[in-house]
Structure formats: C-alpha cells, structure tokens
C-alpha cells in the first residue's frame, strides 16, 4: 500500500481556480506544469478552446509530519481544481473571439489566477505588439467588468419582476444589485466593494466575474526573475486591489514538473520549493479555506473546509450520518499532536479537548468525531 498517495481519491470538494489571461502569456504552459498534463501550448490565439481541467494535490508538509507518527496505510491530500481558460481578447464581452464562451467558463470557478506576461521574446508574439502588464490587465479587467455590467443589468430587470409579486428575497437582491451597478458602470471590480455576509449570500447565485478573488501570476524569463522591470508595475496594481503577485517562469516550472530529481535541481538553483507550490497554496488561501485532519492507521486524510466552519458542519464533510448523530468531537491541535507524538502522548499531557457542535474548527486540528445513529 502506498504511504504518500498523490492519487485523486474519495469525494472531491468543488474547489475551482480558473487560469485566465491574454493569448500567448504562458497559461497552458503553466497549466501543464501544475497538472503534468499535455495541453497544446502554441504560439497563436485560441490554442485552448475548450477549458482543460486538472485536479492537483495541495502541498501541505503537515501531512508528512502526521504520517511519520501515525504510519497510515493510505494518505489522502487536499485538492484544488485548475481550469485553463482560453486566452481572452479585447471585445470578448461582446462575443468577439469566442468571448462569451470563454467568459462563461470563468463563471464556473471560485477564484481566478490571472497570468500576465512579464518577459520579452522575439519568438513569441504579443497580441498588442508590446509587453505591457498594465495594459494587459486593463484589457482583461475591462472585459470582465463589461460582462458583469450586462449581467447585472439583465438580472435587475428579472429581480424587479419578482419584487412586484411580493418576493421578499428579491427586494434584498435588488438593493445589492443597485449597489453593484454604478460601480460596474465605472469599470470597477466588484471585489473592491464592501459587502456584508448577507449581501454576498443574496447575489451568490449570479456568479459575477469581478467579485471572485484573484491572484496575479507574473510569467517572467529565467534570466530576469529577480530583476524584472515589469514586476514592480504588476505589484503596484495588485496592491491597489488588495491582491497578491506570484512570480514564476512557466517554462522552468514546466521542466521542473517533469524531472525526477526535483529536490536536487532546486537545491542547485538555491530554490526552496517550486513556484507551483506557491500558486497552489495561494489558490487555496484565496478561497478562504483551511484544513483539518482525521488520522487513523487505515487512513490519514486532509479535509477542506471554509474558515469559520463549526464542528457540526465539518463532521458533515465526512458523512451525513456524522452530522445527524453528532455527539461531540475529540480535538487535538496540530502542534500538540506533533509535540506529543500522537494521540496517546497528547492524552497523557492533557492536550485532548472534547468540543461541542458549535466549536469553530481551527486550521490543522486533528479531529475524531463521536456520533450515534
């Protein structure tokens, strides 16, 4: 039985991150590296038409630490789904360049990874004729905002009809949509507006594009990773949007993903880990997710839950019976589990807690649910 399994096993939570960008910025090369897939990465627009999908394990060193203590027969990692969406063009919101199809694919995701070209190359064409991250981002953001503006306008018309027949939920939705409309008319991103939890819940079904959390991936040349003239401009934009930038060289990352002696290669370059690991973790964090563990001899498994999840809700991720018959949950923090070498050591040290259904699960908790059906 394989101890450290990267296979995609069990029930997969729908955690989707869409990879977007203009044509020829390195999206498919990056996707290939992330998923070890063999997606075409050619030097012309629309190389990707149907979205390519890959499910990858999230690198979490805590799993290996737990496995060293528990010695499980099987390990199941948390996972994230990346979707390589075709390169967008100016006018996509009006349907140009298969734009409507591509933008609709973005609606199916929960977060966005926007790949921006930050390297010069005479061999790879740029659709605008020059490398300009600021202009590239503006093109994409404009198309996303225009798509949302049209969607918002049409939805308001539909919701107004529901208001007229006395739908109470529709009144709340209308108030939120009327808050969104002027912001979109100015080309703003909805993620920059402050929404209450109830407001977010009211319009969640609409699946606006600009409300999704975003990270920018700067695709740099292997020769100027540390001194890139375009990177600082990209960081300024990300800072103004309360977003993040991860700089990688997609070509190098693609090479690293294919070689067997990855650790030695990285050590020779003076790199602690592949840039892909940072992208995967950032996608996870963008969605405000965290991990709890169940640690048994048969299986060590990482479970993905939103931050703020209660013990009762977390139990339902494993099985509905756990939630129906919930009694309490035996809880050990990750640090205590490691420090005291497992459950028995934590018990002797008085570090095991029994929590009720309203307990807010913390990142890294090792849980054992007690239930009765």
Q: In degrees rounded to 5, what are phi and psi of residue 78?
A: -70, 160
Q: What is the CA radius of gyration of the chain?
A: 23
Give the separation between CA 203 and CA 151, rounded to whole angstroms: 12
Q: How many CB atoms lie within 10 A of CB 373?
A: 8
Report the alpha-carbon distance of residue 318 to residue 296 in Å, rounded. 14
Q: Tokens at residue 303, please?
A: 């479970």
104/88 Cα distance (integer angstroms): 12
By the 8 A CB rule, do 283 and 17 touch? yes
Sign of CA dihedral 68, 70, 76, 78: negative
Question: Known binder of ligand: residue 27?
Answer: yes
User: Does 24 belong to an annotated binding site?
Assistant: yes
Residue 259: how many CB atoms within 10 A of its CB?
Answer: 9
Give the span between the Cα atoms of 366 and 302, in whole angstroms.
9
Q: Is 26 known as a binding-site position?
A: yes
28 annotated as a binding-site residue: yes
Binding residues: 24-29
Binding residues for ATP: 24-29
């Amino acid at each position: 039985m394989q101890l450290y399994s990267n296979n995609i096993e069990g029930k997969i939570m729908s955690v989707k991150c869409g990879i977007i960008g203009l044509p020829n910025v390195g999206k498919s090369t990056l996707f290939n590296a992330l998923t070890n897939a063999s997606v075409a990465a050619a030097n012309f627009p629309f190389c990707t038409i149907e979205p390519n999908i890959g499910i990858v394990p999230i690198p979490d060193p805590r799993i290996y630490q737990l496995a060293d203590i528990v010695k499980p027969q099987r390990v199941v990692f948390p996972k994230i789904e990346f979707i390589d969406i075709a390169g967008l063009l100016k006018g996509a919101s009006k349907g140009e360049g298969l734009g409507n199809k591509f933008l609709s694919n973005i609606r199916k995701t929960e977060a966005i990874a926007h790949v921006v070209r930050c390297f010069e190359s005479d061999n790879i064409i740029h659709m605008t004729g020059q490398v300009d991250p600021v202009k590239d981002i503006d093109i994409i953001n404009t198309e996303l905002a225009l798509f949302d503006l049209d969607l918002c306008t049409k939805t308001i018309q539909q919701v107004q009809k529901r208001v007229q027949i006395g739908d109470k939920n529709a009144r709340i939705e209308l108030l939120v949509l009327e808050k969104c409309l002027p912001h979109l008319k100015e080309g703003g991103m909805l993620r920059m507006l402050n929404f209450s939890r109830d407001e977010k819940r009211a319009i969640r079904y609409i699946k606006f594009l600009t409300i999704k959390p975003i990270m920018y991936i700067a695709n740099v040349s292997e020769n100027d990773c540390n001194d890139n003239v375009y990177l600082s401009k990209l960081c300024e934009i990300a800072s103004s949007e309360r977003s993040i930038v991860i700089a990688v060289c997609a070509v190098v990352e693609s090479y690293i993903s294919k070689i067997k002696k990855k650790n030695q290669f990285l050590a020779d370059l003076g790199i602690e880990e592949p840039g892909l690991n940072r992208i995967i973790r950032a996608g996870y964090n963008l969605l405000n997710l965290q991990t709890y563990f169940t640690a048994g001899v048969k299986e060590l498994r990482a479970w993905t839950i939103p931050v703020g999840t209660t013990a009762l809700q977390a139990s339902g991720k494993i099985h509905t019976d756990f939630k129906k018959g919930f009694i309490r949950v035996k809880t050990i923090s990750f640090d205590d589990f490691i420090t005291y070498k497992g459950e028995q050591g934590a018990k002797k040290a008085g570090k095991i807690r029994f929590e009720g259904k309203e307990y807010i699960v913390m990142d890294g908790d090792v849980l054992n649910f007690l239930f009765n059906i």
